[in-house]
Amino acid sequence: AQSVAQPEDQVNVAEGNPLTVKCTYSVSGNPYLFWYVQYPNRGLQFLLKYITGDNLVKGSYGFEAEFNKSQTSFHLKKPSALVSDSALYFCAVRDYNDYKLSFGAGTTVTVRA
Amino acid sequence: DAGVTQSPTHLIKTRGQQVTLRCSPKSGHDTVSWYQQALGQGPQFIFQYYEEEERQRGNFPDRFSGHQFPNYSSELNVNALLLGDSALYLCASSFYAGEAFFGQGTRLTVV
């Protein structure tokens, strides 16, 4: 079985401050990890992924995430948040020998000007 | 590149009716997955199609069925609609083990 937990329903930050969205996962094998962003009434937009290799992954729009195997975490980060980053963020995991993505419940990020 | 396209964008159906949703994958992608996203929740995996066969299925009843065509496009069919089927239905396409790209979704409302 595979699952994802996003412990924070909401994250609020001021523009220009660092942004962190937390994610922990559970899989039986090796994880493939993903972050997606969703704007109102839209589909999911891919941000970044971890498959193997360097634990620090860089993605779109200045986002990055760090894979930590011992803590089973894959937190999303951005050094300087923008108002336009305000959206709903989903972490997802797929076991290497599985096909389905399992998503967390999502974290709503609000960046105030 | 048009990306993943879904139709229709919105749909209202009555309880007990049947509905068909359509998806065209991103160019070069051969795998299509369907997800249901209820309001305020993360997407839930319905099933995945590859080479015109259902390769994996999530925890959804048999009222949910699908099809993949030779051009890799796909349909999701839901029979005997329930109020609880109201949700955003997302189609995602991928190639081999690559990341999934999602369409804009179809908002289904069952009344």
A31 touches chain B (CB under 8 A): no
CB neighbours of B81 closer than 8 A, spacing ≥ 6?
Answer: B13, B14, B15, B16, B17, B18, B19, B110
Closest CA to B103 of B19, B32, B16, B47: B32
Q: What is the mean pLDDT of residues A83-99?
A: 94
Chain B residue numbers touching A92 (CB-CB < 8 A): 42
Is A10 in CB contact (< 8 Å) with chain B? Answer: no
Tell me how many residue pairs between chain A and chain B have CB atoms under 8 A apart: 55
DSSP A28: S
Q: What values do phi and psi take at B65, rounded to 5?
A: -140, 165
CB contact under 8 A, A42 and B105: yes
User: How many domains are there within chain A?
Assistant: 1
A108: domain CATH number is 2.60.40.10
Q: Can you give the residue range of the structural domain that contains A43? A: 3-112
Distance from CA of A70 to the nearest CA of B (A): 24
Question: Rounded CA gap, B11 and B86, in Å?
Answer: 10
* Weakest mean pLDDT among A42-51, A76-85, B83-92: A42-51
Q: Is the pLDDT confidence value at A14 over 80?
A: yes
Please give, rounded to a whole number of angstroms, the shortest distance from the CA of B31 to a CA of chain A: 10
Q: What is the dihedral of CA B74, B59, A102, A45, to 10 degrees?
A: 30
Buried b (16+ CB within 10 A) or exposed e, B74-87: bbbebeebeeebbb
Note the pLDDT of residue A98.
Answer: 86
- Answer yes or no: CATH 2.60.40.10 is held by domain B5-110: yes
